[in-house]
Chain A
Amino acid sequence: NAGVTQTPKFRVLKTGQSMTLLCAQDMNHEYMYWYRQDPGMGLRLIHYSVGEGTTAKGEVPDGYNVSRLKKQNFLLGLESAAPSQTSVYFCASSYHPGQGSWSNQPQHFGDGTRLSIL
């Protein structure tokens, strides 16, 4: 099982350039998330999606856009990259627990995309 796959793994951009990070999951999960991790900080939620065609803002959404055209894919876009967006980006997915507890439906993470913006 591939689980959650992120592409690319590394990328260097110049300020002002645009790019799209791709996340794909093969677990048929309803929910998908984008986080960023910066040195000395925990992961912070950028955007999330609760189903195909839906997206919502997380804690730090400014400067990013997302799309979920297919259930298995969640794209994160940077329209005009800034040095402050240099970070490691993680995608995650999870099931809805139904009648159960969220504590039993942990998020599954990809291996991250390391993005440097010069």
Chain B
Amino acid sequence: DQQVKQNSPSLSVQEGRISILNCDYTNSMFDYFLWYKKYPAEGPTFLISISSIKDKNEDGRFTVFLNKSAKHLSLHIVPSQPGDSAVYFCAAPLSGGYNKLIFGAGTRLAVHP
């Protein structure tokens, strides 16, 4: 069974505070994970990834944490900015290789002043 779940459809955060987006998965064999960001009427754009051999990856204001024992990853955005308002998808590789991806349902983040 290969599933990637984002159980929070939406999140509202005040500008300057931390945004934490969560993602759970079922397949312990996933060897990497990715986060994509999507604005309305645009395609998803790659944000950050993490290999399963790491538990943290940081890129500027964005940090992804991986807890393999809990099969859980989270994306932290600090500080949150209004331009971060978008839908965020976590993704993991489908079996069979070739970089095929399975996506969570997404979390809509709204950052308000």
Q: Is B25 an interface residue when CB atoms closer than 8 A count as contact?
A: no
Q: How many residues of B are counted as interface, with CB atoms below 8 angstroms from the partner's CB atoms?
A: 30
- Total contacts A to B, CB within 8 angstroms? 73
Query: Which residue, B4, B9, B99, has most C-beta atoms of chain A within 10 A?
Result: B99
Q: Is B20 an interface residue when CB atoms closer than 8 A count as contact?
A: no
- Are A106 and B102 CB-contacts (below 8 A) given A43-B89, A111-B42? no
CA distance A106 to B101 in the complex (A): 10
CA distance A50 to B44 in the complex (A): 21
- Are A43 and B46 CB-contacts (below 8 A) given A101-B51, A102-B93? no
- Write the A22-49 contact mask toward B (1 if CB under 8 angstroms, else 0): 0000000001010100001111110010
- Write the B72-113 contact mask toward A (1 if CB under 8 angstroms, else 0): 000000000000000001010110001111111110000000
* Chain A neighbourhood of B105, CB < 8 A: 40-42
Query: Which residue, B36, B44, B93, B102, has most C-beta atoms of chain A within 10 A?
Result: B44
- Write the A66-110 contact mask toward B (1 if CB under 8 angstroms, else 0): 000000000000000000000000101010100001111111111
The answer to whether A106 and B46 have CB atoms under 8 Å apart is yes
Q: Is B34 an interface residue when CB atoms closer than 8 A count as contact?
A: yes
- Pick from B32, B36, B45, B102: contact of A102, CB under 8 Å: B32
Nearest CB to that of B35 among chain A residues? A106
The answer to whether B4 and A42 have CB atoms under 8 Å apart is yes
Within 8 A of A (CB), among B27-75: 31-34, 36, 41-46, 49-51
CA distance A87 to B57 in the complex (A): 34
- Pick from A56, A101, A107, A108: contact of B101, CB under 8 Å: A107
The answer to whether A109 and B43 have CB atoms under 8 Å apart is yes
The answer to whether B99 and A43 have CB atoms under 8 Å apart is no
* 17 additional contacts (CB under 8 A) given A103-B33, A106-B34: A40-B9, A40-B105, A42-B4, A42-B6, A42-B91, A42-B104, A44-B103, A48-B98, A50-B98, A59-B94, A59-B102, A101-B32, A102-B93, A102-B99, A111-B41, A111-B42, A112-B42
